[in-house]
């Protein structure tokens, strides 16, 4: 059963979950004019800790600015509100969703004169992907071209592309999908970035069509500092997937998820990411230690 906090933070006040409603003519419902973040917090030996809260809120404001959403609250106020909802709800290891969006019943495309709503919710998401190596298929859909949108922004409307992939993949019996860009290079899954391992070297698609995720940046940093491995960012084509030994997804919701196989066209490529002594599992376990307040070096990432 999905568990949620009894409270929603909305425009500087706490309201009960059931009362957090909007009109069906809300501009963002029709045109997806909202910016949002997904943030995890974890139970630790020293109270619940929110992982990289500052970085998430900075990206929230960046994303909102691409839509000219003028958040009436400062970054510091939103950070405090995220902490307050964790404290008030007495929950220990869940998921936060702050969102900023336009509200108006007038359906003009340009909403910049409209009011702005700011809302923060929390619920228990658990494991977003299976707690095992997963089967992946390259989707028939392509990642949006970077000249059609700001790839650094996390905007509600961008996720229509992702929903199409999810619907396609689940019908075909796979755990997850993988998007190529319009030049047929590997991009990302709609909710995660991807890494590959070959001979103890790590590769990931370069920043072009992907959302450069906060977890992606985290993994690059800890891999280079803890495991002394330089992460190479480059264009990767599906035909070269057989060269890699391991593969894994990373993201706030997915954390670090090993990939068992990737299917492309008629070919299925298997990886050893699931093995107990794989580099993927070592990275995964180290990441989970970091978010659980166990690695002193990274305590500043936890609020």
* Catalytic center residues: 154
Burial 233-262 (b: 16+ CB within 10 A, else e): beebebeebeebbbbbbbbbbbbbbbbbbb
Angle, CA of 50, 56 and 62, to the nearest 5°: 160
Q: What length is written for the chain?
A: 303
Residue pair 130/57 in contact (Cβ under 8 Å)? The answer is no
Give Rg (Cα) of the chain: 20
Burial of 203 (0-12, 13-18, 19+ CB in 10 A): buried
CA 178 to chain CA centroid, nearest Å: 14
CA 277 to chain CA centroid, nearest Å: 26
Nearest to 36 by CA among 256, 284, 253, 299: 253
Beta bridge partners, 39, equal 96
């Amino acid at each position: 059963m999905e568990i949620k906090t009894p409270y929603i933070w909305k425009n500087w006040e706490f309201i009960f979950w059931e009362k957090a409603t909007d009109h069906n003519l809300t501009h963002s419902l029709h045109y997806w004019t909202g910016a949002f973040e997904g943030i995890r917090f974890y139970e630790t030996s020293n109270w619940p800790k929110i992982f990289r809260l500052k970085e998430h809120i900075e990206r929230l404001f960046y994303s909102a600015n691409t839509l000219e959403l003028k958040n009436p609250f400062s970054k510091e106020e939103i950070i405090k509100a995220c902490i307050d909802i964790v404290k008030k709800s007495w929950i220990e290891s869940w998921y936060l969703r702050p969102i900023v969006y336009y509200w108006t019943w007038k359906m003009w495309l340009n909403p910049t004169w409209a009011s702005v709503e700011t809302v923060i919710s929390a619920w228990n998401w658990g494991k977003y992907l299976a707690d095992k190596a997963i089967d992946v298929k390259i989707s028939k859909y392509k990642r949006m071209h970077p000249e059609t949108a700001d790839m650094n922004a996390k905007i509600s409307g961008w996720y229509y592309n992702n929903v199409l992939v999810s619907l396609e993949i689940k019908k075909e019996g796979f755990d997850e999908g993988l998007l190529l860009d319009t030049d047929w290079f590997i991009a990302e899954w709609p909710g995660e970035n991807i890494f590959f391992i070959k001979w103890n070297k790590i590769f990931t698609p370069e920043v072009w069509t992907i959302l450069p995720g906060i977890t992606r940046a985290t993994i690059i940093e800890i891999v280079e500092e803890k495991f002394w491995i330089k992460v190479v960012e480059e264009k990767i084509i599906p035909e070269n997937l057989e060269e890699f030994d391991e593969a894994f997804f990373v993201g706030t919701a997915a954390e670090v998820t090993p990939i068992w196989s990737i299917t492309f066209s008629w070919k299925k490529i298997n990886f050893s990411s699931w093995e107990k002594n794989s580099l993927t599992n070592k990275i995964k376990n180290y990441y989970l230690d970091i978010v659980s307040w166990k690695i002193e070096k990274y305590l500043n990432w936890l609020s």
